[in-house]
Amino acid sequence: MVVANVILWPAVDPRRAAPAPVSVLIPARDEAAKLPACLDSVLQQDGVREVLVYDDHSRDATPEVVLAYARRDSRVRLIPPSPLPPQWRGKPFACYTLAAAASAEWLLFLDADAVLTPGAIPRALAEAERRGLTLLSCWPGLRMESFWEKLLMPMLNFVVFTLYPAPLAIRQPSNPALGLAHGVFMLARREAYHRVGGHAAVRTELFEDTLLARIWRQRGERSLCLDGQRLVSTRMYESLSGIWRGFQKNFYPAFRAPLSFWLFLSFHALAFLVPFLGGFWFAAAAVLAARLLLALRFRHPLWSCALHPVAQAFLLALGLSSWWRFHHGGVEWKGRRYRAA
C-alpha cells in the first residue's frame, strides 16, 4: 500500500493555474498567534474576492488581529460569533456560518494555521476544474520544529497511507468509501456545497473533514484529496502536550463504530510494534522501509524512522486514552469539553 501511494498518488499540477473568484473562509478560535502568517499568504494570491474569518468565541486577541487586517485590506472581514446551537460542534458551525456569508463561486476552507505558497489557489482551482471535481482537498506539508513534532507528527501520514488506497480513490472519485479530506485546505464549489448540505451534514462530528468528503460522494458529487504539500503547509501542534491533547480529541471519534477502533489498534500493535518487541526482523525491516518511503515523499526527518517503535507506542497509548476519556467525561480542548456524538 505504501509503495503504491508513494509512487502513484498524484500531486496538484504546478504548471496549471486558473484564477477565479474565491471566498477564503477561516474558522478561528484562539488563533491570534497563527492568523497573521495565514492571512499574509492568502492576501498574496490571485483571484481572492474576500477573506472571511469567523471568531469562534476566542479568548485571545483573534478578533483584534482580523480587524487590523480589515483596516488595511477591504477584502478581509470579521464574522462575529453566534451562540453555538444544540447538537453542533464548534468548527462545523463556524464553517457553515462562513459559507452562508460567502459570495464567490468557489469556497476555500482554510485552517488558521495554514500557510499557502505563491499561486496555490489558482493551481488548486485549475486542478479541480481539470478533473471535474466539486470538492478538492489538498494534503498539506507538515511544518515541524521541536523534537517531539519531528518524532511524532510523521505518524499522521503513516497511519493514513498504510491503509488508504489513494491511487484507487483517484480512479473512483465518486466512491463514498474512498472519500478523504484534510480540513487544512478544502476547496468546494459553492452550489455543490449547499446542495450536499455543507457542514450541517457533519454538525455533530469532531472528525468532520473526511466524513464530509464521504457524504459528498454519497450525494452524487466528485471529490478528491491530492498531495498538496507544495501548495499548503501547517504546523498543527507545537509541543508534546499539544500533540497529545489535539489528537486525543480526534482519535476515537474518527471511527464510526467501536469495533473498527479496536481492530485498528490491534492491527497497529501486531503489525507495526510487535515485530520490534518480538525480534521478527524481516517484518520490522518492512515497517522501517515503509516509514523511509513516506519520509522521502513527505520530507520528514529521516532519523524519526529509526525511532518508530517509540512513536508507535505513543500512538497506541493515545488511542487508548482517547477511548477512555470519551467514555469517562469527555475531552477538553480550547475551553470546550467534547463528548461522543
Mind listing the pLDDT tens digit for each residue in 100-158?
999 999 999 999 999 999 999 999 999 999 999 999 999 999 999 999 999 999 999 99
Query: Are 136 and 273 contained in the same domain?
Result: no
Q: Among 181, 208, 234, identify where a domain stops.
A: 234
Query: Are 127 and 263 contained in the same domain?
Result: no
| Exposure string for 115-141, b = 16+ CB within 10 A, e = fewer | bbbebbbbbbbbbbeebebbbbbbbbb
107: closest CA among 249, 216, 220?
Answer: 216
Query: Are 289 and 216 contained in the same domain?
Result: no
Beta-carbon neighbour count of residue 293 at 10 Å? 17
Look at the chain and report how many structural domains it folds into.
Answer: 2
> For position 256, what pLDDT does the model report?
82
Q: Mean pLDDT of all residues in the chain?
A: 95
Give yes or no for residue 339 having a pLDDT over 80: no
Query: Are 41 and 94 contained in the same domain?
Result: yes
**Distance (Å, whole) CA 214 – CA 219:** 9
Query: Are 137 and 252 contained in the same domain?
Result: no
User: What ranges make up the beta strands (E) of the chain?
Assistant: 22-28, 48-55, 76-79, 106-110, 114-116, 135-139, 141-142, 185-189, 223-227, 232-234, 331-333, 336-338
Strand partners, 48: 22
Give yes or no for residue 340 having a pLDDT over 70: no
Owning domain of residue 248: 240-338
- Percentage of residues in the chain having pLDDT higher than 90: 89
Within-domain flag for 149: no
Q: What angle (nearest 5°) sits at the alpha carbon of residue 135, between those of residues 133 and 140? A: 115
Length of the chain: 341
Tell me what the mean pLDDT of segment 287-297 comes to: 98
Q: Kindly report, residue by residue over 12-65, the tens digit of the pLDDT.
A: 998 888 878 999 999 999 999 999 999 999 999 999 999 999 999 999 999 999
